[in-house]
Amino acid sequence: MLWIDLAKKKEKRRRIRALTLSLFIPGAGQFYRKRIAAGLFFFITFCFLIWLLTEIWRINYGIIGTFAGFFLLYIINIVDAYKGPAKSSAPCERRCPAGINIAHYIAQVREGNYDDALITILDRMPLVSVCGRVCDRPCELSCALRCSGGSLAIECIKRIAAEYGTLPTLQKMKPNTHNNSIGIIGSGPAGLSAAYFLIRKGYPVTIYEKETEPGGLLLWGIPEFRLPREVVKKDIEFLKNLGIVFDCGTAIGKNKTFDELLNAHKSVLIACGSQQIKQLDIQGTELQGIFYALDALRSLHHGNQIDFSGNVAIIGGGNTAFDAARVAVRSGAEKVTIYYRRNEEEMSGNKEELAMALREGVTIEYYVSAMRFTGKKKVDGVELARTELRMRKEGKRSDVISLEGSNFTIDCDTVLIATGQQQDFSFLPRDIQDKLVRGSCIKVNTQTMETLLPGIFAAGDITGRRRSVVDAVDMGRRAAQGIDWYVRSAGKVQKIIERLSDFDYPLPSSLPRRKAIKGKRAEQKLLKINKAVTSVLEVEKGFSKEEAKKEASRCLQCNRLT
């Protein structure tokens, strides 16, 4: 249990005492919480209404309306005593799927309070070191500075908090009164997030991972020059210290059946992602020298060697394609080219990652689609066709049309196919598959992540929703709340009351108001090209403490302006 959890419990007890006081004496709860002006308002208003009622006491429509207003104000007084004034949130916080109090931790970094900044982030995000490197940064798109010097470098500031902040001392948890364990399939971001929030609620959690190490795609699917292994292991070690149990080398459906999992746990969360590779259905995929990019990344992670000499062709336009291209560059390829059937605007991959690949010498050709691979035993070329896009209704991707007579062949020595992944439901019994799966994903309640079968929850890529680390963390948190409600058999009324009584509790810290400095967005230093393409050293170097403080000083603290 984190210190902030204990602080929240203490704060909740204070709020309940304030509510109780205002229940008997309007305004007393506000006085108790040192909100003198609000307390005086409610106390004087109620005294006036009581006097008014005694003066005009006659049963008529006027007095009925006065009673209704009196009762409404009484309820507002009670709610205000508990909730307090509405908390202002900055645009970046509202845009963040995890709901991190971004403006607060940026102010803490500005003052050099790295420990407090780390705890602020940990309240909503367990994978701080990871997210400080591979987050897709939706918060920066809504930064108020985006048209005035450039959005704040929020991701880099978060990384500084992870690097220089000290992980909080863990408090010993009380035994779980429910005594119900939770099983989680998959140790990717969604599974780790759900386990984190469940263990903080006091539930014993076991994560089942088919690989020999926890982390999922974070560990073996993202190259080390983007996300170093020790960074992932640092975040996972923190989760282990919380008491989460990792059962690695256990493949559900092989080493242990799904039914056994249901019998062993009160509730089960499916968070195994979408790791089944989409097969490219064209001639020649069986030739030597052709690899699926995700399989190649996994193989390289386990220490196997792949010959990337000569010309390497990458088929696809997502982050895996960019990662595979950069790996090929570091493995001695003479030329690496990405072939993509759409344009840059419709690429599913992160534009910043594409820019990094181009910086390292990768070339890209748009509007081309692979038709077949040529060669006898080993691939020696790819036959491509020119394409064009046919626009569809707004909100939908364009249709890809291959142009007749536009085929041409390029020479290559190795091909890496990165045309995406899909969900694999083979570990589920057929009867459960029929009830859970709709189309190509598991259908869930988006608020609780509960499936159509009670006690079974799903989160992450397997639900067919957005595929980013921070979105997976958010789904894991929702799943943890849904599982908690399920185990406690919470009814609809109880859920509504708990949602209304929920509150955000920023850690108490004396943060002085400072005027934001003007200036352009600071960019992190990058590893020199000649060193980057010949090693697996991390390319993005992040900020120094001084650079982070200076960049944090640009923050307008929008949560204080509203």
What structural domains does the chain harbor? 3-83 (no CATH), 91-169+507-561 (1.10.1060), 182-274+423-487 (3.50.50.60), 277-421 (3.50.50.60)
The set of long-range contacts for 144-151, using a CB threshold of 8 Å and a minimum separation of 24, is: 144/90, 144/91, 144/556, 144/558, 145/521, 145/554, 145/555, 145/556, 149/518, 149/519, 149/520, 149/521, 149/554, 150/520, 150/521, 151/521
DSSP-derived pairing of the beta strands 441-442 and 437-438: antiparallel
Q: Among 199-203, 265-269, 363-367, whose mean pLDDT is lowest?
A: 199-203
**Which pLDDT score is estimated for 503?**
66
Nearest to 447 by CA among 402, 400, 492, 481: 481
Whether the pLDDT of residue 484 is over 60: the answer is yes
Backbone angles phi and psi of 384, in degrees to 5: -115, 160
pTM of the model: 0.91
Quick check: 65 pLDDT over 70?
yes
Is the pLDDT score of 381 beyond 60?
yes
pLDDT at 506: 58
Q: pLDDT, tens digit, for every residue of 124-134?
A: 999 999 999 99
pLDDT range class, residue 562, cuts 50, 70, 90: very low
pLDDT in tens, 179-207: 689 999 999 999 999 999 999 999 999 99
Within 289-375, where are the H helices? 293-301, 319-330, 351-359
What does the pLDDT look like over 512-547, one tens digit per residue? 888 999 999 999 999 999 999 999 999 999 999 999
The residue assigned the tokens 């599982």 is 483
The structure tokens listed for 540 are 């993005």
Q: Is the pLDDT of residue 272 over 80?
A: yes
